[in-house]
Amino acid sequence: MPTGNPPRYQARFDETQADVLAAQELRHRCFRGGQGLDADAYDAVCRHVLVEDITTGDLVACFRLMPFSNGDAIGDSYSAQFYELSALRDYSDPLIEMGRFCIDPDVQGGADILRVAWGAMTRYVDQEKIGLMFGCSSFQGTDEARYLDTFALLRDRHIAPKRWLPRVKAPKVFRFAQRLRRAPDAKRAMLGLPPLLRTYLMMGGWVSDHAVVDHDLDTLHVFTGVEIAAVPPARARLLRAVSSPA
């Protein structure tokens, strides 16, 4: 929501290889710890969004976008390494995969940073007439027992429509929709939701019926999709109000 205070953060697309390297360095600190580069082959075909502190120029968050004109090439996405996505091949409108989202853990103001990031994403989605935004939403660690109430909540309220539902592909998964019989404790369930996934769900997002165990990044993750036409109007207005040029 707009305020009278001057903005502290701004989002922009990468312009140089140095921008990509800065994003890869931040990703490494966030996902793996310490110094290094979190890099893969997808970086070369993605657009990278950098969120910076206006006063210092410091990079405080980043994510990458991989566009598709329709679902024909969904198998080339990062997510397709882990999920069988053939159901989405018939998707006729443009799609965008959002990945590697991270916020510098040493920086305060995560909520403000998240708003600026989503404002930039909203602007891009509107400009490119995106129909579906998707990606992998990660839980820290690989112990599903920490998140049983959260997974039970996802099972009850947020499983993907059958026509788009991803099938199992990864060698190790937690089939929470099949295995869990418990009713979720609402408070514990919400506490266990990663902030990015919480935002997706507030936009009307849905998830796969299983979580992938990713030992490389020490995470559990669920495939997540948001159909833009289904975003609640009030939420869409809020996102557009904070949209920032990228």
> Per residue in 85-108, pLDDT tens?
999 999 999 999 999 999 999 998
In percent, how much of the chain has pLDDT > 70?
96
Integer CA distances (angstroms), 118 to 11, 200, 221, in order: 9, 10, 20
Amino acid at 212: V
The answer to whether residues 60 and 113 touch, using CB atoms and an 8 Å cutoff, is: yes
Model confidence band, residue 243 (pLDDT cutoffs 50, 70, 90): low
**Domain annotation covers residue 217:** yes
Digit-coded pLDDT (tens) for 113-129: 998 999 999 999 999 99
What is the pLDDT at residue 202?
93
Helix (H) or strand (E) segment spanning residue 39: none
What is the pLDDT at residue 237?
85
Report the pLDDT averaged over residues 13-36.
97
Q: What is the CA radius of gyration of the chain?
A: 17
What is the pLDDT at residue 5?
66
pLDDT beyond 90 at 236: no
First to last CA, the chain: 18
Report the chain's mean pLDDT, rounded to a whole number.
94
Please name the residue ranges forming H helices in the chain: 17-31, 110-128, 148-157, 176-179, 186-192, 195-202, 233-241
Integer CA distances (angstroms), 241 to 11, 76, 229, in order: 15, 33, 17
> What is the number of domains present in the chain?
1
- Total-model pTM: 0.92
Task: Read off the tokens for 125.
Answer: 């989605």
**Domain annotation covers residue 10:** no
**Domain annotation covers residue 17:** no
Q: Is 113 helix (H, G, I), strand (E, B) or coil?
A: helix
Give backbone dihedrals phi and psi of 144, rounded to 5 degrees, phi first: -65, -20
The C-alpha atoms of residue 91 and residue 178 are separated, in whole angstroms, by 26
What is the pLDDT at residue 240?
80
Integer CA distances (angstroms), 173 to 18, 36, 210, in order: 36, 28, 6
pLDDT beyond 60 at 245: no
Q: What share of the chain is helix, strand, coil (3-state, %, to 5)?
A: 40, 25, 35
**Domain annotation covers residue 2:** no
The C-alpha atoms of residue 125 and residue 155 are separated, in whole angstroms, by 28
What is the pLDDT at residue 7?
80
**Domain annotation covers residue 233:** yes
Q: 129: how many CB neighbours lie within 10 A of its CB?
A: 9
In percent, how much of the chain has pLDDT > 90?
88
Digit-coded pLDDT (tens) for 32-61: 999 999 999 999 999 999 999 999 999 999
**Domain annotation covers residue 56:** no
**Domain annotation covers residue 102:** yes
Model confidence band, residue 110 (pLDDT cutoffs 50, 70, 90): confident
**Domain annotation covers residue 42:** no
Digit-coded pLDDT (tens) for 160-211: 999 999 999 999 999 999 999 999 999 999 999 999 999 999 999 999 999 9
Question: Residue 113 belongs to what domain range?
Answer: 63-241
